[in-house]
Amino acid sequence: MSSSAASPAALTEPETVGDISQPPSSGEVLWDRVFRRMTLGIAGFTVFLTIYVVIRIGRVALPAINSYGAGFLTGTTWDANRATFGVLPAIAGTLYSSILGLIGGTLFGLAIAIFLSERFLSTGLENLFKRLGLEGLGFWATFPDRIENFLRVTIELLAAIPSVVYGLWGVFVVIPAIRPPSQWLYTHLGWIPTFGTSLSGPGLLPASVVLAIMVLPTISAISRDALVAVPPKIREAAFGIGATRWEAILAVFLPTAATGIFGGVILGFGRALGETMALAMLAGNANVLSWSIFSPANTLAALLANHFPEAGGVEVGALMYAALVLLAITLIVNIIGTIILQRADAALKGLR
Amino acid sequence: MRASRFTRLSLIIVTVSIVFLSALRRHGSAAADDAITLQGAGATFPAPLYERWFAEYNKLHPNVQINYQALGSGAGIKNFQQNLVDFGASDAAMTDEEMAAVKQGVVLIPATAGSVVLVYNLPDGPAGVRLSREAYVGIFLGKITQWNDPAIAKANPGVKLPDTKITVVTRSDGSGTTFIISSHLTAISDAWKSGPGAGKSVNFPVGVAGKGNPGVAALVKQTPGAIGYVEYGYAKQTSLPMAVLENKAGKFVKADIKSAQAALASVVLPANLRAWITDPTGDDSYPIVSYTWLLCYKKYDKSNVWPELKELIKFGLSQGQSYSEQLGYVPLPASVIDLDTKALDQIS
């Protein structure tokens, strides 16, 4: 902001131009200063708040950190009655369910992003209109764009559904729907560790299915942006050397946008890690360590949500310790995501 | 254009905030007239009954507003100890240690009672399956894993039990309901006592867990072969089948108001009104029953709080008891109401 550096003398210089351009009045200068201070103050307060939260949690967690140490991370029981606390099953459950959810979410999110960014729908509809003789006629000319926009907004609206609604939907729709195929997998392929137990009800798989839908809007929105940002030069060059549409998408556009897409995936991962309510309702809240995707599991966020209201004494410290662990995991994932996104931006800049 | 957009914007912000602040003030002063708000927090188990009491009481005394937050027994005790509320509520009576932390002193008032039932889901299976003590302890310990286990079949002659895996459903959150059933299991089984033990949240060896009574009921309803524990009133609402349990006398008893009253009658309350009915005697007693308590301070600092609160509790103990049965709670025996009323007079 160079105007901030302007000396007071510059402000009082006589003006010769008409009343459209005038030196700023003293009120405007004052307001400008106040406004800048205010934004600085509010921005600073946000940073302070973040640090304050971490410090407060850390302070409450300190006794637990001292008494349980690293054994907390490898322990497998959470028993407030015996003051034994370990979060390994919760860490494993958090990562396992998030990764499974992410695989599903990426698959569908990326497919949607390609569908929306490569104008599949528009081309199809335009051909249809051409055949019907409607091309270029007012409403019909903008129709494909409108419908594409509608689809995009609808998918982004998935992010607006409260997670408790996802949880209920999971309990009453997803679990009954996936029980028969899961049972089949267990009886026929039970020797594979991932299908090693039967699905009784809540478990990793239903939790992951719902997580996949929850992270889908994040992934599809960012991937679509990344695909749209692929420079026209590259697009034209790909088709120019005779690539088919699929060859162009798979061999040229996706690799070009890959870093951006990956950043979206990492941000989705961050969201999946912190998801609480839906997982508390669907994962089964059992401290079980198992490779089976049908086994009930626990996650750090669900552990906190379930135990905090009734916790007392040492358990509060242990829960705060678990909160710090979750915070560290999400922080690392988000930092990696941000770095990748920045790299993607820088890489694309060279191409424009 | 001398008045820039910023200036106009700031004017709007100032005006809006002045209007907003004055509205807040007006609201605040109206509430301060002779109206009084009583703050309470605690158990979720009796919350439906308490909320009914408070709503009915508010109809009779429109100036008294009662905010009851069903945060859970543990949170109720915590808020009560920190003087954040005018009264607390808990399914587990406060221990001596917990009471010592309250400098005004504590009076425990048993306000209602309820039973915890085992609900199950057996596809086209029998209603009212009988579970012996050995059977239901075994199920919760994870030793009995099939519905056609001999330990279950023995108590159910002539009943065809399916070859279905048992899925135990427990509470994921700490709760008074868990406290009541785990105390009972601790009382009747040494293996349970040395294993998971009693508490508001217990490390169950098997099963999956749902949040709150609704969470458990939903999981049981959705899972063939499931068995879980919920409070009686909740089970009645959801019309899930309830297991018939063997009591201390060796009799199989159905969960209802009568069998719960029989269990309450088997225990005489001591002077501090704190009694754990972990394993009631008597042929007709349902085995898993507990009182639930209102927590009051022995001395209230604010002079206007206690008279109103006392009226409220008296209302709950008299007319309030008539709503119990309909909501699935056990009306208190007359002897307990007498003791409660005497206890209320100690408070000032």
Q: Convert the pLDDT of each residue in A283-328 to its tens digit.
A: 888 888 888 889 899 999 999 988 887 777 788 899 999 999 999 9
Note the pLDDT of residue A299.
92
For residues A54 and A157, membership in a common domain is answered with: no
Inter-residue contact A299 to A97 (CB < 8 Å):
yes
Tell me the chain A residues in contact with residue B201 when contact means C-beta distances shorter than 8 Å. 80, 306-307, 310
Residues A186 and A261 in one domain: yes
Q: Looking at the structure, do residues A342 and A267 belong to the same domain, yes or no?
A: yes
* pLDDT value at B24 more than 70: no
Given a cut of 50, whether residue B303 has pLDDT beyond it is yes
Record the pTM.
0.79
Asked which of A37, A68, A99 is the last residue of a domain, the reply is A68
Q: Give the rounded percent of residues in chain B with a pLDDT score beyond 90.
A: 31
Distance of residue A128 Cα from the nearest chain B Cα, in angstroms: 46
Q: What percent of chain A has pLDDT over 70?
A: 91
Q: Which of A276, A73, A307, A282 is nearest to B203 (CA)?
A: A307
Residue-wise pLDDT tens digits, A128-142 = 888 877 766 677 777
Per-residue burial over B62-90, b = 16 or more CB atoms within 10 Å of its CB, e = otherwise:
eebebebbbbbbbbbbbbbbeeebbbbbb
pLDDT at residue B19, as a whole number: 62
A294: nearest CA partner in chain B: B208
Is A160 within the bounds of a domain? Answer: yes
What is the arithmetic mean of pLDDT over A113-139? 79
Find, among A286, A80, A258, the residue nearest to A200 by Cα: A286
What pLDDT does residue A4 have? 46
Residues A192, A92 share a domain: yes
Nearest-CA distance B291 → chain A (Å): 19
**In this predicted model, which residue has the larger pLDDT, A56 or A351?**
A56
Residue B333's pLDDT band, with cuts at 50, 70 and 90, is confident
Residue B16 has pLDDT above 80, yes or no: no
What percent of chain A stands above pLDDT 90?
34
Strand duo A84-85 + A78-79: pairing: antiparallel
Out of A27, A172, A285, the one facing B209 most closely (by C-beta) is A285
> In this structure, is residue A17 part of a structural domain?
no
Whether A107 and A308 have beta carbons less than 8 Å apart is answered as: no
Same domain? A255 vs A225? yes
Contacts of residue A280, defined as CB under 8 A and 6 or more positions apart, other chains included, come to A167, A299, A301, A302, A305, A306, B172, B211
A102 pLDDT above the threshold of 90: yes
Q: Do A215 and A286 fall within a single domain?
A: yes
The token pair at B271 is 């002077």
Distance from CA of A244 to the nearest CA of B (A): 49
Domain boundary among A34, A51, A68: A68
Q: In terms of pLDDT, which residue wins out, B22 or B160? A: B160
**Contact A230/B at CB under 8 A:** no
- Residue pLDDT, tens place only, A14-62: 555 556 778 888 888 999 999 999 999 999 999 999 999 999 999 999 9
CATH of the domain at A131: 1.10.3720.10
pLDDT, averaged across chain B: 86
For the cut 70, the answer to whether the pLDDT of residue B32 exceeds it is no
Is A79 at the interface with chain B, CB within 8 A?
yes
Does A307 contact B201 at a Cβ distance shorter than 8 Å? yes
- A109 and A60 both lie in a single domain: no
Answer whether residue A14 is part of any domain: no
The DSSP output letter for B15 is: H
For A77, the closest of B172, B200, B203 (CB atoms) is B203
CA distance A294 to B219: 15
Residue A72 has pLDDT above 80, yes or no: yes
Q: What pLDDT score does A196 carry?
A: 82
Task: Count the neighbouring beta carbons within 10 Å of the beta carbon of residue A153.
Answer: 9
Asked if A150 has any chain B CB less than 8 Å from its own CB, the reply is no
- What is the arrangement of strands in the sheet containing B208-210, beginning at the earlier edge strand? B64-69, B36-42, B87-90, B289-297, B106-120, B226-231, B167-171, B208-210
The answer to whether position A221 is within a domain reads: yes
| Crossing angle of helices A204-228 and A88-117, rounded to 10° | 40
Q: Examine residue A1 and state whether it is found in any structural domain, yes or no.
A: no
Q: How far does the CA of residue A85 sit from the closest CA of chain B (Å)?
A: 11
Taking the alpha carbons at both ends of chain A, their separation in whole angstroms is 27
Regarding whether A164 and A54 lie in a shared domain, the answer is no
Which residue among B4, B203, B222 sits closest to A78, beta carbon to beta carbon?
Answer: B203
User: What ranges in B69-163 are assigned the alpha helix state H?
Assistant: 73-81, 96-100, 133-141, 150-153
Q: What is the mean pLDDT of residues B311-336?
A: 89
| Greater pLDDT, B200 or A105 | A105
Distances, alpha carbon B214 to alpha carbons B41, B73, B166, in Å = 20, 17, 20
**Cα-based angle A312, A314, A318 (whole degrees, multiple of 5):** 105
Q: What residues of B are in contact with residue A200 (Cβ under 8 Å)?
A: 165, 167, 208, 223, 225-226
Residues A119 and A43 in one domain: no
Who among B72, B218, B219 is closest to A310 (CB)?
Answer: B72
Query: Which residue among A25, A80, A296 sits closest to B201, beta carbon to beta carbon?
Result: A80
Q: Do A79 and B203 touch (CB under 8 A)?
A: yes
Instruction: Give the structural domain span for A266.
Output: 72-351
- pLDDT (tens digit, 9 = 90+) per residue, B51-106? 999 999 999 988 888 999 888 787 888 889 888 899 999 888 888 888 888 888 89
Structural domains in chain A (count): 2
Q: Does A201 touch chain B (CB under 8 A)?
A: yes
| Minimal C-alpha gap between A79 and chain B (Å) | 5
Interface residue of A39, A205, A306 to substitute, partner B, most B CBs within 10 Å: A306
Residue type, A310: E
Q: Are residues A323 and A222 in the same domain?
A: yes
Predicted local distance difference test score (pLDDT) of residue A16: 56
- Is A177 domain-assigned? yes
A44 and A101 assigned to the same domain: no
Strands, E, within B103-215: which ranges?
106-120, 130-131, 167-171, 208-210
Substitution target in B81, B201, B213 with the highest count of A β-carbons within 10 Å is B201
A68, A90, A123 — which closes off a domain? A68
Indicate whether A334 belongs to any domain: yes
Q: What is the pLDDT of residue A1?
A: 40
Task: Name the closest residue on chain A to residue B9, using Cα atoms.
Answer: A31
Q: What rounded mean pLDDT belongs to chain A?
A: 85
Is the pLDDT confidence value at A195 over 60? yes
In chain B, the residue whose alpha carbon lies closest to the alpha carbon of A297 is B208
Tokens (6 digits) for A187: 């009886």
Nearest CB partner across the interface for B6, out of A31, A171, A280:
A31
Per-residue pLDDT tens digits for B216-229: 998 998 888 999 99
Query: Does residue A8 lie within any of the structural domains?
Result: no
Which pLDDT does position B31 carry in this prediction?
A: 44
Mean pLDDT of A193-211: 88
Chain A positions in Cβ-Cβ contact with residue B198 (cut-off 8 Å): 81
Among partner residues A27, A31, A81, which is closest to B197 by beta-carbon distance? A81
What pLDDT is attached to residue B29?
43
Report the C-alpha gap between B168 and B139 in whole angstroms: 7
The whole-number pLDDT of residue A135 equals 66
At residue A14, the pLDDT reads: 54
Q: Does A171 touch chain B (CB under 8 A)?
A: yes
Q: What is the pLDDT of residue A3?
A: 45
Which residue shows structure tokens 């209201």?
A: A309
* Chain B residues touching A285 at Cβ < 8 A: 172, 208-211
Nearest chain B alpha carbon to A197: B165
Same domain, A40 and A154: no
Cross-chain residue pair B172–A309, CB shorter than 8 Å: no
Q: Which amino acid is at A51?
A: I
> Helix/strand/coil (H, E, C) string of chain A?
CCHHHCCHHHHHCCCCCCCCCCCCCHHHHHHHHHHHHHHHHHHHHHHHHHHHHHHHHHHHHHHHHHHHCCHHHHCCCEECCCCEECCHHHHHHHHHHHHHHHHHHHHHHHHHHHHHHCCHHHHHHHHHHHHHCCCCCHHHHHHHHHHHHHHHHHHHHHHHCCHHHHHHHHHHHHHHHHHHHHHHHHHHHCCCHHHCCCCCCCCHHHHHHHHHHHHHHHHHHHHHHHHHCCCHHHHHHHHHCCCCHHHHHHHHHHHHHHHHHHHHHHHHHHHHHHCCHHHHHHCECCCCCCCCCCCCECCHHHHHHHHHHHCCCHHHHHHHHHHHHHHHHHHHHHHHHHHHHHHHHHHHHHHC
Report CA Rg, chain B. Answer: 24
The beta-carbon neighbor of A310 closest among B4, B7, B74 is: B74
Cite the DSSP H helix spans in B73-175: 73-81, 96-100, 133-141, 150-153
pLDDT of residue B144: 93
pLDDT of residue B30: 42
Residues of B in Cβ contact (< 8 Å) with A302: 172
